[in-house]
Amino acid sequence: MKTAPTRLESTAMNIDRSVLPGEKIDFGRPMLRIFGQRIDMRVVMTVGIVTLLALACGFAGLMLGKFSLTPGEVFQGLFGQADRRIVNTVVGEWRAPRIIAGIVLGAGLGVSGAVFQSLTRNPLGSPDIIGFSTGAYTGGIVTIIVLGSGYISTALGAIIGGIATAALVYLLTWKGGVQGFRLIIVGIALTAMLNAFNTWLIMRADLELAMAAATWGAGSLNGMGWSTITPAAIVTVVLALACGLFARDLHTLELGDDTAKALGVRNEPVRAALILVAVALVAVVTAAAGPIAFVALAAPQIGRRIAKAQGTSLLASAAVGALLLVGADLIAQHALGDIQLPVGVVTVSIGGIYLIWLLVQEARKAK
Amino acid sequence: MSTTTTTAAPLVARSLDLAYDHRQVVTNLDVSIPDGKFTVIVGPNACGKSTLLRALARLLPPAQGNVLLDGTDIAKMKTKAIARRLGLLPQSSIAPEGITVGELVARGRHPHQSFLKQWTDEDEAAVLRALRATNTEELSSRQVDELSGGQRQRVWVAMVLAQETSLLLLDEPTTFLDVAFQIELLDLFSQLNNEYGHTMVAVLHDLNQACRYADEIIAMKGGVIVAQGAPADIVTAELVHEVFGIDCTVIDDPVTGAPMIVAGKPKKTFAER
């Protein structure tokens, strides 16, 4: 009978896995443990600063305009306590809804963009690039033409349009699984087709409806009132929080499908749920403010870079999204004196430059 | 090596058919993974060895038959419960841009966490143990992108160890590494198996490494198992010829005494040429 072979003398390190209580991992950055969560202090600081900047922009937006106000008047106006009643109206009815819209909808776009870029593992995999915003817009126009305008019906139409577009992109991309880059190419192609379809719809519509659809189509916070922003903001916050519930799964999915599944993530149900919620998020924003480009594309990348976050940070992306939209709207309203631009024009202009830079980066990486 | 009690196999496959898009890869396969042993699956390319490993790790649902983990059909178990019992090092993983070693290894704790309990002392200790076991603790604040191939693979192993499962499946863990790193990793697996009694199953390409490190070898060809057993009992020139289609001579490894494969048949000595 053969004898069992002797074991090799190990050349590797000796395993000393003993850990003393209180020993900490060096993550290379301060970590705070609170309520059973491990929190990256750099991310918290960044989110705090960016949020303060967004609020400052919002405050400036409340002050500026044909009827300019002092900071004191704005405060009084916010609580309806100003001596002159007109101040209460200007702050509370005219300007505040718009600022809230900029902050909340911007944050929603940031979260939605972060989810899609994480799922496609590509910075170009953003809802405004791969057709989901455009599809939501198509759904919105069809609803306006058929049912007339109104936030709730337009929002539902936009959600249906967005989800239908997402399903179509997913189906056209499916090849025993969905590969990020294919999805982006298919999405860009579908965006072009939908844009043509949208133009055709608007050209055929009555002048009045066409005007409404076109203004909305540029992406604008003009004329935003409480009746629109209240439901839009509530739904946006709820959907963004829903994405937050999946943040851990999202982070694990970033390690690749096999690794995620081995770590206990139910890949396909989680992905489907995240896509649904994030499409609904972008559709709700689109229904309120039109297809605003660039925010969903840029916010996650900017957020990740300044927070030096590990993978996707939904929180940083939300904060940067809020700052971008409220800041862009400030520029759109006040940069050209009396001429008010739709905020979408500003974001597209900045976004165009950013997109070129991003494409150059990606092309370099591909080499 | 010391376990004398015969425990039930933790991982069993019964009449397994595996297919990708209707292309059958494995047909009617039965296998038991012995408890507490280091098992190595060998075979030529496209013999179905990685496919079998993926099925054992519930990544590939079988077309027919089932996989039993501790006697329960793996398809009926919660994927998170499986992840607390069975760890897998897949052939390829993605390190998110800019992620640090500590953070990546911490992601291995996923199956032990819940929304309200995302980081505990136990998580911190498990990650530290995994970093120490793989000798990557001093890398913990470095970015994974900056590491060499060998370091990176050790970090991925650390992530799987942080999962703290006593059953580990490794899909070609040494591919793309230079020989020094290959030996280092295999020594590490062997130690984990020896000192902690972890059950290990690895797909390896190098037959001699398989003979040196494995307690049990599973040799596959064309989607079926040709032989299974201790290297000394099953590795012969005939088996190597049957599985890989090459002529070879099997000698005793001068270091370990395990079988060692030398390609070619001794027709002439060099002196005679």
**Residue ranges of A 228-267 with Cβ closer than 8 A to chain B:** 245, 248, 251-252, 254-256, 258-259, 261-266
d(CA A243, nearest CA chain B) in Å: 13
Q: Taking residues A284-294, what's their average pLDDT? A: 89
d(CA A251, nearest CA chain B) in Å: 8
What's the rounded Cα separation, in Å, for the pair B91 and A302? 32
Confidence at A12, pLDDT banded by 50, 70, 90: very low
Contact present, B114 and B123 (Cβ < 8 Å) = no
Contact present, A298 and A354 (Cβ < 8 Å) = yes
What's the rounded Cα separation, in Å, for the pair A280 and A286? 10
**Residue ranges of B 27-46 with Cβ closer than 8 A to chain A:** none
In chain B, residues with a C-beta closer than 8 Å to the C-beta of A13 are 135, 188
Q: Do B113 and A248 touch (CB under 8 A)?
A: yes
Count the helix, strand and coil residues of chain B and give each as a percent rounded to the nearest 5. Answer: 35, 25, 40
Of the listed ranges A132-141, A263-272, A338-347, the one predicted with least confidence: A338-347
**Residue ranges of A 299-328 with Cβ closer than 8 A to chain B:** 304, 308-312
Alpha-helix residue ranges (DSSP H) falling in chain A: 41-63, 71-78, 85-88, 96-120, 132-147, 151-173, 180-204, 207-218, 226-245, 247-253, 257-262, 267-289, 295-307, 314-334, 343-366
In chain B, residues with a C-beta closer than 8 Å to the C-beta of A256 are 90, 92-94
Contact present, B41 and B201 (Cβ < 8 Å) = yes
What's the rounded Cα separation, in Å, for the pair B175 and B177? 6
Rg (CA), chain A: 24
Q: Taking residues A217-246, what's their average pLDDT? A: 91
**Report for A131-135, A180-184, B103-107: range of highest mean pLDDT:** B103-107
DSSP string, B3-27: --S-PPPSEEEEEEEEEETTEEEEE
**Residue ranges of A 107-136 with Cβ closer than 8 A to chain B:** 121
Amino acid at B91: Q
Q: Give the residue from B89, B101, B107, B153 with the most A CB atoms within 10 Å of its CB, the best one to mutate.
A: B107
Of the listed ranges A84-98, A153-167, A349-363, the one predicted with least confidence: A349-363
Contact present, B171 and B51 (Cβ < 8 Å) = no
The phi-psi region of residue A320 (left if phi > 0; otherwise alpha if psi is between -120 and 50; otherwise beta) is: alpha
For helices A151-173 and A180-204, angle between their N-to-C axes, nearest 10 degrees = 140
What's the rounded Cα separation, in Å, for the pair A36 and B105? 18
Search chain A and give the residue with CA nearest B259.
A5
A175 touches chain B (CB under 8 A): no
In chain B, residues with a C-beta closer than 8 Å to the C-beta of A23 are 124-125, 128
- B142 to each of A109, A124, A294, B156, how far by Cα in Å? 32, 27, 32, 14
In chain A, residues with a C-beta closer than 8 Å to the C-beta of B184 are 11-12
- Ranges of residues in chain B with a pLDDT under 70 are 1-7, 266-273
Condensed to tens digits (0 to 9), the pLDDT of residues A19-48 reads: 887 788 888 888 888 878 888 999 999 999
Q: Taking residues A119-133, what's their average pLDDT? A: 89
Query: Looking at residue B222, what is its pLDDT?
Result: 92
In chain A, residues with a C-beta closer than 8 Å to the C-beta of B57 are 262
In chain A, residues with a C-beta closer than 8 Å to the C-beta of B58 are 261
> Could you say which of B57, B95, B232 has the minimum Cβ distance to residue A2?
B232
Domains of chain A, by residue range, sit at 40-366
Contact present, A51 and A322 (Cβ < 8 Å) = yes
Query: Looking at residue A211, what is its pLDDT?
Result: 81
Query: Looking at residue A91, what is its pLDDT?
Result: 86
d(CA A168, nearest CA chain B) in Å: 22
What's the rounded Cα separation, in Å, for the pair A88 and A73? 9
Quickly name the fold that domain A40-366 has.
Answer: ABC transporter involved in vitamin B12 uptake, BtuC (1.10.3470)
Using CB atoms within 10 Å of the CB of residue A48, give its burial: 0 to 12 exposed, 13 to 18 middle, 19+ buried.
Answer: exposed
For helices A295-307 and A41-63, angle between their N-to-C axes, nearest 10 degrees = 130
Query: Looking at residue A296, what is its pLDDT?
Result: 94
What's the rounded Cα separation, in Å, for the pair A311 and A235? 26
Contact present, A312 and A251 (Cβ < 8 Å) = yes
Q: Which residues of A2-13 are buried (b: 16+ CB within 10 A; e: fewer)?
A: eeebeebebebe
Confidence at A213, pLDDT banded by 50, 70, 90: confident
- A272 to each of A122, A243, B22, how far by Cα in Å? 18, 12, 25
CA angle A238, A242, A247 (to 5 degrees): 140
What is the bridge-based pairing of β-strands B86-89 and B167-171? parallel
DSSP string, A135-180: HHHHHHHHHHHHH---HHHHHHHHHHHHHHHHHHHHHHH-SSS--H
B119 touches chain A (CB under 8 A): yes
Which phi and psi angles does B100 have, rounded to 5°? -90, 160
What's the rounded Cα separation, in Å, for the pair B95 and B78? 26
Q: Do B257 and A3 touch (CB under 8 A)?
A: yes
Q: Provide the β-strand partners of residue B201.
A: B39, B169
Query: Looking at residue A366, what is its pLDDT?
Result: 64
Which phi and psi angles does B12 have, rounded to 5°? -135, 135
Search chain A and give the residue with CA nearest B96.
A311
> Could you say which of B80, B160, B184 has the minimum Cβ distance to residue A264?
B80
Question: Is pLDDT at A13 greater than 50 in this prediction?
Answer: no
> Could you say which of B59, B111, B195 has the minimum Cβ distance to residue A264?
B111
Q: Do B127 and A265 touch (CB under 8 A)?
A: no
Question: Is pLDDT at A69 greater than 80 in this prediction?
Answer: yes
pTM equals 0.89
**Residue ranges of A 6-25 with Cβ closer than 8 A to chain B:** 6-8, 10-13, 15-19, 21, 23-25
B122 touches chain A (CB under 8 A): no
Contact present, B250 and B234 (Cβ < 8 Å) = no
d(CA B272, nearest CA chain A) in Å: 33
Q: Do B21 and A27 touch (CB under 8 A)?
A: no
What's the rounded Cα separation, in Å, for the pair B228 and B243? 12
Q: Taking residues A71-76, what's their average pLDDT? A: 88
Q: Do B106 and A25 touch (CB under 8 A)?
A: yes
Question: Is pLDDT at A318 greater than 60 in this prediction?
Answer: yes
Average pLDDT taken over every residue of chain A = 87
What's the rounded Cα separation, in Å, for the pair A216 and A155? 13
Q: Do B124 and A25 touch (CB under 8 A)?
A: yes
In the three-class reduction of DSSP (H, G, I as helix; E, B as strand; rest coil), residue B190 is classed as helix
Search chain A and give the residue with CA nearest B60.
A258
> Above pLDDT 70, what percent of chain A?
94
Amino acid at A168: L
What's the rounded Cα separation, in Å, for the pair A96 and B6? 74
What's the rounded Cα separation, in Å, for the pair B10 and B78? 17
State the count of interchain CB pairs (< 8 A) between A and B.
Answer: 172
What's the rounded Cα separation, in Å, for the pair B152 and B161? 14
Contact present, B40 and B202 (Cβ < 8 Å) = yes
